[in-house]
Structure 1
């Protein structure tokens, strides 16, 4: 399976780019050096070859007499091959008019003594070597050219007209030049490779040091991203250090821009916090002030309805509705006041609380309020499910969850309340499960928001204020716990997780699980 390669880091891109640039420059320098050295070496070789061809084109000194050193000269056109100073492998060959080699001689060993013949200083060329010379088109006085001969390797060859008018090919080996070029190229490759490795290591270290300020800027941004900025009072004190906020450098420009952005965000958070505090204070004050008139409305309506004066059915119905709506408004005001206090961070009354009795009481109240329309089940652990919290508020959490299950599921639905507590486990889990129709998917992410309503059943006619689950979330958060919901048709579970306390005393309970059904 092909996996897509991740993007390179800035450090990697910089180092690779620098090393690639150095490699290109080294390749250009090496190529130019090699070409220049090759031209120089072949120039010297061609000069040496030309001096030999000049010697081959001139008649021997004292023709018919002895050569310098006592060797007889005669009319040998290849006598120059036996002269001293020629390198081993140098050769001469006489070409006929049809281009065939009629005579050839190769220096087999250095001719230190003049007048050495073919038996001592030279030997005839092989048939394959002569065939290679015949196949090469070497013009007379056309300059030197390279020819590969079997057994002799690469040679520089030049054709010249001899003293008797014959065409003479003169050649000297180019092995030393080729060897020198090979050594030069090998040295260039090794030095370039070692240089690139050293440049990569040094470049990685230098780029790492150069990018260190950028990493500090990124670390500042990471710390800011981890702050809980969505709610509550936030002190946004993180800033990029002044050393990394100098606008005269590229990294400093990024740091300075980040500091300006953090300043704007901090100012916006302060304004948001002040606005939230004003709204919370207003809600708390309004809720507190509304409690007294609502209580008066309920009292006067009940007093009028129970008075001695005879009232008509319409009046009694109106008074009953006034009491009902006043009671509902009183519940909403109490809920708003509780949420305002929790938002303000007012501490709750914490104490060691066993959830099992609280669950039993809440389920009993829900069964009585439901008038037998639902089936209620309890699943409690053998050991105490002890948490450190406010028993009154935890009871309210259970009441709201059970009221939510009772209100928004049809009659006959089975509601199971389950408490899970494991010895040594840091959490106690409370679950309220029902087999009702479930929560619509579009509403599921918003069930814990305030005044969240889904359909007609979640309306004022059903007595819902839309604050029950919001209170559950706020109370559990104030206890340091968390609450979640999972829902599909036929299976809805609200799960509450609270920090557990170690069991202090054994809790006697018959059976390993209490299960009741209505």
Structure 2
């Protein structure tokens, strides 16, 4: 199964496609939203209470204005003789003590007089529609009692809303006195605006303070996260790994939530560290065994090969079966020797042994490798695309020769006759790039994940020649290229397979290595 790094993990998104909020943002937004809600409730209650108190005060003023209206109508010259001094709104509005904005309506059963004073004290008559509305409200308010409770009437236009009180004189006239509600509305609006501005300023201030507090409170969690991130970037899947990173002791207090997370992470890292040490010790034993076994097998294999060759060339007449057996012994000893040499090379690379670092002329090296491949696979078509100037890579000449020989052998052995193989060399920045492309059947999808693993084999048409393959060729390619601080990748689909090898360029001031 192919390994995936943390960077390859899928990005989790919400249902609407947006990334989820961080804990810091959620905490800050929660605090700011709570403050905004509390401010809204306090502001609404404050404005409501103030409006009620102001309206109660306005009703008291209205009671006094109504008493003054009654006095002005009852004490007019002529007494009850309407023909002498008819009751009018002007009489009420021009009476003593009436404030600007006061509204008055007098109705004697046949005629109506209505108006209000502006800010300069001038009496302004009401329109017919406004008078009709007031008369209707007056009749409705006095149907059961001689004096109604204060109520609100919206006359619209420039007049606006009034708080009015209807009453009946002893002489039978109906009158209505009103005071504008604009003063109450204006005061309540100003208070609401002040509360809104103060609340907004407080919310902004709290947002900054909350951000700082949350950032400070989450610093231990950030340190835990940083520790986990550093550990996640370590190459835990190979080589010797020392997990020295731990969450600081100050962030592992089990009495806090973050401390419990930090303590759990440290315990997990301790377990992982022990597991990695055990794995590394086991791998070292296996590598040492492979290296020792490969080294010890070289001598007996050479002896077997030598004696079988000596017997075959002795000139003595042997039965055909014996000659066939000796030939098979010699060929299998050669194959076994190649396998042992490959295993020994991989063991040495696993131990981290440094390769030679000399400038290698990749141009000449590829010419030689392609020539050898052409001689071995004349049923294939071989193309070579080289730049005009030599390309020098820093590395070990024999090992790089083995890399490209293995790749060309892979293309030759695992494709059908007539396949076209193209080898191209180019430069990209500080790297040399070699691509080996063929138009064969391609690599099966189920084998791509384990293609560079040791003893990887397949049974498809591309792998028809695996009977004579050790299964270590591509593993050696990856190990050698990695030891050169390079990279090897493969892109395959039916009809096209391309291996791409990237190697660092050498210092052009040095002469190329003559021994490739």
Indicate how the Cα distance of structure 1 residues 109 and 449 shifts in structure 2: closer, same or farther if over 3 A, else same.
closer
| TM-score normalised to structure 2 length | 0.83
Corresponding position of 1:438? 442
CA contact (8 A) 2:39 2:199 kept: yes
Matched, 1:492 2:493: no
Partner SS for 2:449: helix
Indicate how the Cα distance of structure 1 residues 84 and 394 shifts in structure 2: closer, same or farther if over 3 A, else same.
same
Q: Deviations over 1:322-365 (max 9, x none)?
A: 22222212211111111111101112233232223333333343
Corresponding position of 2:53? 40
Gaps of 5+ in 2: 1-15
Corresponding position of 2:21? 8
Partner SS for 1:295: helix
Partner SS for 2:179: strand
Shift of 1:60: 8.6
Partner SS for 1:20: helix
Distance in 1 between residues matched to 2:242 and 2:42, nearest whole Å: 59
| TM-score normalised to structure 1 length | 0.83
Corresponding position of 1:138? 141
Indicate how the Cα distance of structure 1 residues 235 and 101 shifts in structure 2: closer, same or farther if over 3 A, else same.
farther
Partner SS for 1:454: coil
Shift of 1:233: 0.9
Corresponding position of 1:465? 470
Corresponding position of 1:21? 34
Distance in 2 between residues matched to 1:432 and 1:216, nearest whole Å: 47
Shift of 1:210: 2.6
Q: Work out which of the residue numbers 223, 226, 229 in structure 1 matches 2:230.
A: 223
Partner SS for 2:243: coil
Matched, 1:247 2:273: no
CA contact (8 A) 1:453 1:459 kept: no
CA contact (8 A) 2:88 2:113 kept: no
Q: Work out which of the residue numbers 383, 388, 391 in structure 2 matches 1:382.
A: 388
Corresponding position of 2:3? none
Matched, 1:88 2:89: no
Shift of 1:304: 4.1
Corresponding position of 1:451? 455
CA contact (8 A) 2:108 2:173 kept: yes
Deviates more, 1:258-267 or 1:226-235: 258-267
Indicate how the Cα distance of structure 1 residues 333 and 46 shifts in structure 2: closer, same or farther if over 3 A, else same.
same
Shift of 1:122: 6.2
Indicate how the Cα distance of structure 1 residues 276 and 82 shifts in structure 2: closer, same or farther if over 3 A, else same.
same
Q: Deviations over 1:49-80 (max 9, x none)?
A: 223444556799989899xxxxxx98969766
CA contact (8 A) 1:431 1:493 kept: yes
Q: Deviations over 1:107-156 (max 9, x none)?
A: 56899xxxxxxxxx967655444223113232342310012346543222
**Correspondences of 1:290-309 after superposition (within 5 Å):** 290-307=297-314
CA contact (8 A) 2:308 2:326 kept: yes
Q: Work out which of the residue numbers 208, 211, 215 in structure 2 matches 1:204.
A: 211
**Correspondences of 1:353-392 after superposition (within 5 Å):** 353-370=360-377, 372-392=378-398
CA contact (8 A) 1:459 1:465 kept: no
Gaps of 5+ in 1: 67-72, 112-120, 508-518
Number of matched pairs: 486
CA contact (8 A) 2:116 2:125 kept: yes
Partner SS for 1:336: helix
Alignment RMSD: 3.3
Corresponding position of 2:268? 261
Distance in 1 between residues matched to 2:432 and 2:478, nearest whole Å: 16
Corresponding position of 1:322? 329
**Correspondences of 1:471-490 after superposition (within 5 Å):** 471-490=476-495
Corresponding position of 1:415? 421
Distance in 2 between residues matched to 1:77 and 1:456, nearest whole Å: 114
Shift of 1:456: 6.5
